[in-house]
Amino acid sequence: MGIKLDFSAFWGIIETRNKTGTQQEKQMKSLDIDFLTRQAIPIEMGGLLQKVGEYKGRQDLFQHQTPQILDTLKQIAIIESTESSNRIEGVTIPEKRFRELMVNPVKPKDRSEAEILGYREVLSQIHIRPESLTIDEKTILRFHQQIYAKTDITGGQWKKRNNVIEERLANGRWITRFVPVSAAQTPYYMKELCSRYRRLQDKGQISPLILIPAFIFDFLCIHPFTDGNGRVSRLLTILLLHQIGYTVGRYISIERLIEESRETYYEALQISSNGWREGKHNLKPWWEYSLGVLIGAYKELEKRVGAITKTRGMKTSIVKETIKNLPSTFSISDVERLCPSVSRDMIRVILNSLRKQGFLKCQGTGRGALWEKRGNKSSKRGNKRGNND
Does the pLDDT value for residue 36 go beyond 50?
yes
- Cβ contact 343:299 at 8 Å: no
| The pLDDT value given to residue 201 | 95
Cα(373)–Cα(330) distance, rounded to whole angstroms? 9
Cα pseudo-dihedral 305, 309, 310, 312, rounded to 10:
140
| The pLDDT value given to residue 173 | 86
Round the average pLDDT of the chain to a whole number and report it. Answer: 85
Domains in the chain: boundaries: 7-307, 314-373
Contacts of 138 (CB under 8 A, 6+ apart): none
- Cβ contact 355:342 at 8 Å: no
Whole-prediction pTM value? 0.76
Q: What is the pLDDT of residues 234-258, one digit of tens each?
A: 999 999 999 999 999 999 999 999 9
| 314-373 classified as CATH 1.10.10.10 | yes
* DSSP designation for 377: -
Cα(363)–Cα(360) distance, rounded to whole angstroms? 10
Rg (C-alpha) for the chain, rounded Å, is 22
Does the pLDDT value for residue 378 go beyond 60?
no
User: Closest Cα partner for 300 from 83, 80, 27, 150?
Assistant: 80
Among 74-78, 148-152, 256-260, 382-386, where is mean pLDDT lowest? 382-386
- Cβ contact 282:268 at 8 Å: no
Report the share of the chain in percent with pLDDT over 90. Answer: 54
Task: Compute the 3-state secondary structure of the chain and give helix, strand, coil in percent, each to the nearest 5.
Answer: 60, 5, 35
Q: Which CATH number fits domain 7-307: 1.10.3290.10, 3.40.50.300, 3.10.180.10, 1.20.58.760?
A: 1.10.3290.10
